[in-house]
């Protein structure tokens, strides 16, 4: 079972709120580093192993710099994410650029940085050549369709907008070969927040088999296989975390059998995990503003769906701790809500938590990925600050909270005076 603890006491959190008003996100550097090292150890058998941190999960340069120091690259999907990577010194083939419906200027920036360009569609080969020119190394994203099941978050592969079909993949690599490309990678991403190791081993087998077929039919060699991300985290206390050592060993056995055993040129294993790297080590901290009793009990926070979208968007579970009441019985059943004018602005529905009082601090767990990064400004809500708990116990601000001036900065309010309506 996943034990849900917070790295700071109620007293420490209260002291923090004197410097940084709630709500705020806070990340645990020690937890992130230790987790990053566990992943590297699991795949240490592969000399060229590389993890590209999925920037979209937590696009903060401080977090990215921590992961760079652990040897991670960046998985980018937009111009802004490419720029962030450049700012923290992650460039060249330490970036994989995996995007879809991609404009030419984004391909141009990726090529300028020397990133590995991972194509999403067979038509993008000509588009890339026409607008930017083909790079030395090209990767293609495979969508296995009904050959591989998806899951609730990413959906069924055959209904996903991403990637080449099997037939398109063979034709795409043939086109690239004939255009003079000599360096190749292969990628897929068919699940999100998956906890079953078997799922990832089946994905690895599928790609290793595909490498063998492509190599035999087209006479090309692959430098790497990117197994994608999608490794889940135990959001619920009863969930079990993915056994990274078992995952690494399972992939190793398949690699020995299907790559080395078939005489295929050795290749590097790549991953692009985001959620499992930072997710369990980020927390959304809010304060109870109101308690309401109508047809049911409600606990209203100063945080809302704008700070953490996943529960409202997916019905996703995030564990909730009332700071200082960790050892009290969870005998108060309520909905934990925010203040948006939307009824799905709820962090929890019919959740049993300890008896809670106005002004209590509430900590929402596993908000270190797809938390702050998915924030928005609906209802003119302002996005909260991000803090980092350093290894030495110090806490620093790594992103300030938005101000109302930030929110209005893109509006020409002076021009409104002459607006003749």
Domain holding 218: CATH number? 3.20.20.10
User: Is residue 416 over pLDDT 80?
Assistant: yes
Residues 197 and 288 in one domain: no
Residues 259 and 335 in one domain: no
Residue 55 CA to residue 67 CA, distance in Å, equals: 11
Burial class (CB in 10 A: 0-12, 13-18, 19+), 289: middle
Confidence of residue 153 (pLDDT cuts 50, 70, 90): very low
Residue-wise pLDDT for 103-116, tens only, equals 999 999 999 999 99
Neighbour count for residue 139 (Cβ, 10 Å): 24
Confirm whether 362 is domain-assigned: yes
How many domains would you assign to the chain?
2
Confidence of residue 398 (pLDDT cuts 50, 70, 90): very high
Can you tell me whether residue 316 is helix, strand or coil?
coil
Residue 121 — left, alpha, or beta (φ > 0 → left; ψ -120 to 50 → alpha)? beta
Confidence of residue 357 (pLDDT cuts 50, 70, 90): very high
pTM, two decimal places: 0.94
Residues 55 and 146 in one domain: yes
Residues 145 and 204 in one domain: yes
Report phi then psi at 157, rounded to 5. -55, -40
Residues 248 and 172 in one domain: yes
Confirm whether 23 is domain-assigned: no
Residues 273 and 284 in one domain: no
**HSE value, Cβ hemisphere, 13 Å, CA-based, for 123:** 5
The two most distant CA atoms of the chain are separated, in Å, by 76
Give the angle subtended at the CA of 404 by the CAs of 401 and 406, to the nearest 5°: 70
Residue 27 CA to residue 280 CA, distance in Å, equals: 9
Average confidence score pLDDT of the chain: 95
Residue-wise pLDDT for 286-330, tens only, equals 999 999 999 999 999 999 999 999 999 989 999 999 999 999 999
Mean pLDDT for 26-46 is: 98
Mind giving me the DSSP string for 19-80? TSPSSEEEEEHHHHHHHHHHHHHHTTTSTT-EEEEEGGG---HHHHHHHHHTT-EEEE-SHH
213, 245, 278 - which closes a domain? 278
User: Residue 214 contacts by C-beta under 8 Å, 6 or more apart in sequence?
Assistant: 169, 170, 173, 186, 220, 222
Q: Give the pLDDT of residue 417.
A: 83
Q: Give the pLDDT of residue 414.
A: 86
278, 309, 341 - which closes a domain? 278
Over pLDDT 90: what percentage of the chain?
91
User: Is residue 54 over pLDDT 90?
Assistant: yes
Give catalytic residue positions: 341
Q: Which domain holds residue 97?
A: 29-278
Q: How far is CA 163 from CA 89, 144, 189, 208, 275, in A?
A: 29, 9, 9, 17, 21
Confirm whether 185 is domain-assigned: yes
233, 255, 278 - which closes a domain? 278
Residues 203 and 333 in one domain: no
Residue 358 CA to residue 256 CA, distance in Å, equals: 59
User: Is residue 149 over pLDDT 60?
Assistant: no
Q: Give the pLDDT of residue 145.
A: 83
Residues 216 and 301 in one domain: no
Residues 251 and 110 in one domain: yes
**For strand 297-301 and strand 385-389, is the pairing parallel, antiparallel, or unpaired?**
unpaired
Assign residue 351 the CATH number of its domain.
2.40.37.10
Say if residues 205 and 227 touch (Cβ distance below 8 Å): no
Q: Give the pLDDT of residue 148.
A: 52
Mean pLDDT for 155-172 is: 84
Q: Which of 152-156, 256-260, 408-412 is least confident?
A: 152-156
User: Is residue 159 over pLDDT 80?
Assistant: no
Burial class (CB in 10 A: 0-12, 13-18, 19+), 388: buried
């Amino acid at each position: 079972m996943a034990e849900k603890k917070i790295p700071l006491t109620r007293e420490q959190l209260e002291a923090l709120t004197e410097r940084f008003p709630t709500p705020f996100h806070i990340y645990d550097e020690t937890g992130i580093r230790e987790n990053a090292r566990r992943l590297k150890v699991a795949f240490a058998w592969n000399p060229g192993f590389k993890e590209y941190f999925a920037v979209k999960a937590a696009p903060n340069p401080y977090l990215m710099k921590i992961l760079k120091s652990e040897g991670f690259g960046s998985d980018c999907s937009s111009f802004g994410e490419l720029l962030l990577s450049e700012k923290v010194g992650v460039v060249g083939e330490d970036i994989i650029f995996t995007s879809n419906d991609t404009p030419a200027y984004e391909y141009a920036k990726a090529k300028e940085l020397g990133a590995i360009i991972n194509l999403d569609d067979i038509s993008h080969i000509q588009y890339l050549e026409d607008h930017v020119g083909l790079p030395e190394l090209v990767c293609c994203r495979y969508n296995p369709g009904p050959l591989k099941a998806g899951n609730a978050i990413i959906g069924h592969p055959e209904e996903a907008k991403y990637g080449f079909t099997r037939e398109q993949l063979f034709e795409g690599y043939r086109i690239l070969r004939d255009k003079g490309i000599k360096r190749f990678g292969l990628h897929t991403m068919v699940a999100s927040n998956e906890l079953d190791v078997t799922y990832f081993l089946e994905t690895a087998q599928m790609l290793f088999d595909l490498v063998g077929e492509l190599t035999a039919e087209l006479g090309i060699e692959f430098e790497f296989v990117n197994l994608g991300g999608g490794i889940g985290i135990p959001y619920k206390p009863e969930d079990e975390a993915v056994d990274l050592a078992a995952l690494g060993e399972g992939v190793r056995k398949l690699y020995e059998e299907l790559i080395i055993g078939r005489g295929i040129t050795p290749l590097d294993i790549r991953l692009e995990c985001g959620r499992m790297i930072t997710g369990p080590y980020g927390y959304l901290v809010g304060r109870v503003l109101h308690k309401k009793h109508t047809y049911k009990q409600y606990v209203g926070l100063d945080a809302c769906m704008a700070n953490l979208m996943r529960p409202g968007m997916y019905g996703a579970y995030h564990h909730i701790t009332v700071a200082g009441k960790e050892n009290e019985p969870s005998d108060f059943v309520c909905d934990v809500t925010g203040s948006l004018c939307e009824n799905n602005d709820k962090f929890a529905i019919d959740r049993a938590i300890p008896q809670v009082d106005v002004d209590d601090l509430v900590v929402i767990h596993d908000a270190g990925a797809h938390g702050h990064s998915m924030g928005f400004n609906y209802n003119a809500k302002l996005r909260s600050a991000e803090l980092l708990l350093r290894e030495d116990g110090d806490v620093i601000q790594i992103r300030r909270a938005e101000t109302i001036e930030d929110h209005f900065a893109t509006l020409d309010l002076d021009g409104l005076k002459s607006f003749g309506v």
